[in-house]
């Protein structure tokens, strides 16, 4: 298709002075570039199908599994259709894939769990190869349970399940279906971040396949600069095929989640402000808050077996519609399983997120109003521009200073 467009432009513009405009020159260059990328990706797919046998899997657009594998990503915007999907089962096969990529100069993307909402981070279109790490899903616990080696293709709920009953756990995703690789390479905010910090700070050692196909390890003593860079650097420095994580001493915990009516929003905002102050003195507390027009969901998590801890007192007297998750004593695994049961398999929808230092409830109300109003206006305006082929605007929030 790209080659046909380029040929059409070339023939129609041969004797037309208007076609000397840079737009047509750029169009022809871009269509040729797309065509070349597709050819490179096609060669990479063919080579991989031969060189990854017998264990590695290469899925093409005509295979039965193709559609399902292209729709694993959490965000529907990232449901792209790569030239092929390559699923290595070992570090050695990842090495071969990277050598093929180098040989063919094919474009590629890497996917662990596919939870990143940015297109191109864990997905790619017909012009490239998707390297899907989901088959690198080993979990190996040390004899003393102080460390665990895990593959990037695991979902966090599977890791929690393996450690359940050991008296220890790892710091990972708060949502059960988040992939191991993406969260750890992105920093990772776990449920117990107030007590322990970022998940990436508990990675003792990485096994990494570099862009030239070389396998190295990175820790505090060997390749320290890479060990540091991988703690938030994403997949920019190589493909991590194994993480060695330190475990933390969390076993029995308490948790509950409630659904509130919209009429309770003002009281809930005031409770959030009070909680932020109270939580400074109790690092075992963790909290999630989701406000919408139809309802508000609040989750309480406490990293000790204590029912209704005082740090959440400001919420207990506010009437709620029903429990999203029943109050329970459990483990990090049972918490993840409870969230999996109520959340189900839901692809994403458009979300607006903002970080707000809460000092006063009325100030937060104004900030929320301004953000929602401006963002709604922005999306409406740019939807019209996309439809007409015009460039979208940059999002700018003209926040007003609330009267105090």
Q: Tell me, yes or no, whether 83 and 14 share the same domain.
A: yes
> 185 versus 340: which is more confidently predicted?
185
The CATH number that applies at residue 168 is 3.30.465.10
Percent of the chain predicted with pLDDT > 90:
65
Mean pLDDT over each residue of the chain, to the nearest integer: 84
User: For residue 159, what pLDDT is reported?
Assistant: 97
Report the Cα 401 to chain-centroid distance in Å. 33
Domain for residue 384, yes or no? no
Q: Which of 25-39, 90-104, 243-257, 379-393 has the lowest mean pLDDT?
A: 379-393
> Are residues 60 and 125 located together in one domain of the fold?
yes
Instruction: Return the pLDDT at 19.
Output: 40
Tell me whether residue 398 is in a domain.
no
Cα angle 306, 310, 315 (rounded to 5 degrees) comes to: 110
Give the residues across from 59 on adjacent strands.
Answer: 85
Identify any residues that bridge with 110 across adjacent strands, giving them in sequence order.
131
Could you tell me if 19 and 115 lie in one domain?
yes
> Given 176, 211, 246, which residue is the final one in a domain?
246
Note the pLDDT of residue 344. 62
Domains of the chain: total = 3
Predicted pLDDT at 382? 52
Q: Note whether residue 355 is domain-resident.
A: no
| C-beta of residue 276 within 8 angstroms of C-beta of residue 315 | no
pLDDT 10s digits, 189-239: 999 999 999 999 999 999 999 999 999 999 999 999 999 999 999 999 999
The domain of 258 spans 253-330
- 54 and 121 housed in the same domain: yes
SS (H, E, C) the chain: CHHHHHHHHHHHCCCCHHHHCHHHHHHHHHHHHHHHHHHHHHHHHHHHHHHCCCCCEEEECCCCCHHHHHCCCCCHHHCCCCCEEEECCCHHHHHHHHHHHHHHCCEEEEECCCCCCCCCCCCCCCCEEEEECCCCCCEEECCCCCEEEECCCCEHHHHHHHHCCCCCECCCCCCCCCEHHHHHHCCCCCCCHHHHCCHHHHEEEEEEECCCCCEEEECCCCCHHHHHHCCCCCCCCCEEEEEEEECECCCCEEEEEEEECHHHHHHHHHHHHHHHHHHCCCCCEEEEEEECCCCEEEEEEECCCCCCCHHHHHHHCCCCCEEEEEEEEECHHHHHHHHHHHHCCCCCCCCCCCCCCCCCHHHHHHHHHHHHHHHHHHHHHHHHHHHHCCCCCCCCCCCCCCCC
Note whether residue 279 is domain-resident. Answer: yes
Of the chain, the percentage scoring pLDDT greater than 70 comes to: 76
Q: Find the radius of gyration of the CA atoms of the chain.
A: 25
pLDDT for the residue 14 = 43
The per-residue pLDDT for range 108-147, each reduced to its tens digit, is: 999 999 998 888 889 999 999 999 999 999 999 999 999 9
Say if residue 42 is in the same domain as residue 64. Answer: yes
pTM reported for the whole predicted model: 0.79
Residue 16's CATH number = 3.30.43.10
- Flag the least confident range among 65-79, 327-341, 353-367: 353-367
Domain match, 267 and 213 both: no
Same-domain status, 160 and 118: no
The pLDDT of residue 18 is 40
pLDDT at position 379 over 80: no
Which has more confidence, 368 or 229? 229
Of 259 and 357, the structure prediction assigns the larger pLDDT to: 259
Query: Quick check: bond before 54 cis, omega within 30?
Result: yes
């Amino acid at each position: 298709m790209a080659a046909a467009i380029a040929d059409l432009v070339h023939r129609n513009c041969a004797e037309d002075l208007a076609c000397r405009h840079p737009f047509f020159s750029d169009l022809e260059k871009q269509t040729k570039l797309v065509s070349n990328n597709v050819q490179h990706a096609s060669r990479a797919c063919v080579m991989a199908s031969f060189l990854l046998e017998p264990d590695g899997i290469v899925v093409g657009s005509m295979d039965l599994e193709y559609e399902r594998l292209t729709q694993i990503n959490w965000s529907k915007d990232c449901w792209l259709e790569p030239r092929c999907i390559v699923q290595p089962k070992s570090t050695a096969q990842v090495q071969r894939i990277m050598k093929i990529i180098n040989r063919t100069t094919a474009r590629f993307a890497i996917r662990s769990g596919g939870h990143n909402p940015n297109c191109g981070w864990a997905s790619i279109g017909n012009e490239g190869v998707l390297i899907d790490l989901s088959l690198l899903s080993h979990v190996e616990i040390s004899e003393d349970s102080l460390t665990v080696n895990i593959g990037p293709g695991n979902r966090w709920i599977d890791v929690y399940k393996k450690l359940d009953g050991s008296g220890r756990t790892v710091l990972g995703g708060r949502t059960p279906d988040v992939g191991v690789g993406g969260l750890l390479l992105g920093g990772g905010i776990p449920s117990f971040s107030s007590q322990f910090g970022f998940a990436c700070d508990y990675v003792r050692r990485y096994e990494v396949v570099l862009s030239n196909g070389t396998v190295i390890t990175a820790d505090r003593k060997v390749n320290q600069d890479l060990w540091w860079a991988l703690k938030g650097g994403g997949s920019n420095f190589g493909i991590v095929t194994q993480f060695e994580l330190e475990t933390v001493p969390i076993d029995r915990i308490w948790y509950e989640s409630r659904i509130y009516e919209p009429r309770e929003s003002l009281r809930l905002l005031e409770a959030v402000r009070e909680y932020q102050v109270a939580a400074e003195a109790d690092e075992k507390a963790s909290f999630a808050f989701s406000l919408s027009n139809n309802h508000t969901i609040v989750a309480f998590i406490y990293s000790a077996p204590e029912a209704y801890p005082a740090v959440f007192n400001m919420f207990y007297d506010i009437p709620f519609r029903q429990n999203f998750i029943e109050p329970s004593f459990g483990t990090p695994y049972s918490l993840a399983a409870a969230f999996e049961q109520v959340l189900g398999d839901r692809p994403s929808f458009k979300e607006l997120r903002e970080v707000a230092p809460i000092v006063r409830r009325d100030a937060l109300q104004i900030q929320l109003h301004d953000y929602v109003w401006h963002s709604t206006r922005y999306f409406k305006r740019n939807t019209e521009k996309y439809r007409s082929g015009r460039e979208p605007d940059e999002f700018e929030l003209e926040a007003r200073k609330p009267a105090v």
